């Protein structure tokens, strides 16, 4: 009888532990899956040991992961593009993450496949920056920001780069060109015209 109770207790404990495992595709404040604001670039090799890491700007003689990297699942699906604060430092923390896979999701269900309607329904917009080919939307109390191609906008706001664009001018059906996380001490990220 004691053995049966012990086995039952262990089974319940294992089940609870499995339920509490972190969702590898969850986006939360200061984290995306297993990556957090304190993760160093050199740790990505162990975090994504089951996936493929492609170093975009390989540094000669570098032992650890340095510079921008793309993360692919073993099956070939592109997951993330990860950029460090300092390209040459393997201990550098992460500054930006571009999300390619729609399985990555916020608690409110926002994903790469969402539309601007989903943004308006779940987030407060703090700023919209007008760039040459797109608009960048910053969300309140979150690390997320999104870029929407100007092709998604009405023609009257596409070509005036100095015009202030309001959320009401972005159609509900507008899709995201880029779905990003920026960890720059909570400040809006400066987007250079050539980056968009």
pTM: predicted TM-score of the whole model, two decimal places: 0.80
Question: pLDDT band for position 38 (50/70/90)?
Answer: very high
User: Rounded mean pLDDT of the chain?
Assistant: 85
Q: What is the mean pLDDT of residues 31-36?
A: 96
CB 25 within 8 A of CB 101: yes
Cα–Cα separations (whole angstroms), residue 109 to 79, 81, 100, 112, 152? 17, 21, 15, 10, 22
Mean pLDDT of 148-165: 90
- Residue 46: phi and psi, rounded to 5, are -80, -35
Under 8 Å between Cβ of 105 and 27 = yes
Task: For 39-88, write each residue's pLDDT tens digit.
Answer: 999 999 999 999 999 988 766 766 667 789 999 999 899 999 999 999 88
- Cα–Cα distance between 119 and 5 in angstroms, integer? 49
Task: Give residues with Cβ within 8 angstroms of 112, minimum separation 6.
Answer: 99, 100, 101, 102, 104, 176, 179
Residues 140-164, mean pLDDT to the nearest whole number: 91
Q: Whose structure tokens read 């997320």?
A: 144
């Amino acid at each position: 009888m004691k053995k049966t109770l012990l086995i039952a207790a262990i089974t319940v404990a294992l089940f609870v532990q499995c339920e509490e495992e972190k969702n590898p595709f969850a986006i939360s404040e200061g984290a995306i899956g297993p990556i957090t604001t304190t993760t160093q670039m050199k740790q990505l090799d162990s975090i994504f040991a089951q996936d493929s890491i492609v170093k975009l700007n390989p540094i000669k003689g570098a032992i650890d992961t340095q510079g921008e990297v793309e993360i692919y699942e073993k099956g070939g699906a592109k997951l993330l593009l990860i950029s460090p604060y300092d390209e040459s430092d393997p201990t550098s923390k992460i500054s930006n993450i571009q999300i390619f896979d729609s399985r990555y999701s916020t608690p409110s269900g926002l994903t790469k496949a969402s539309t601007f309607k989903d943004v308006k329904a779940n987030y407060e917009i703090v700023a919209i920056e007008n760039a040459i080919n797109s608009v960048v939307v910053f969300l309140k109390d979150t690390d997320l920001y999104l870029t929407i191609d100007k092709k998604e906008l009405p023609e009257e706001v596409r070509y005036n780069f100095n015009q202030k664009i309001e959320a009401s001018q972005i159609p509900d059906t507008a899709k995201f060109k880029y779905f990003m996380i920026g960890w720059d001490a909570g400040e809006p990220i400066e987007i250079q015209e050539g980056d968009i």
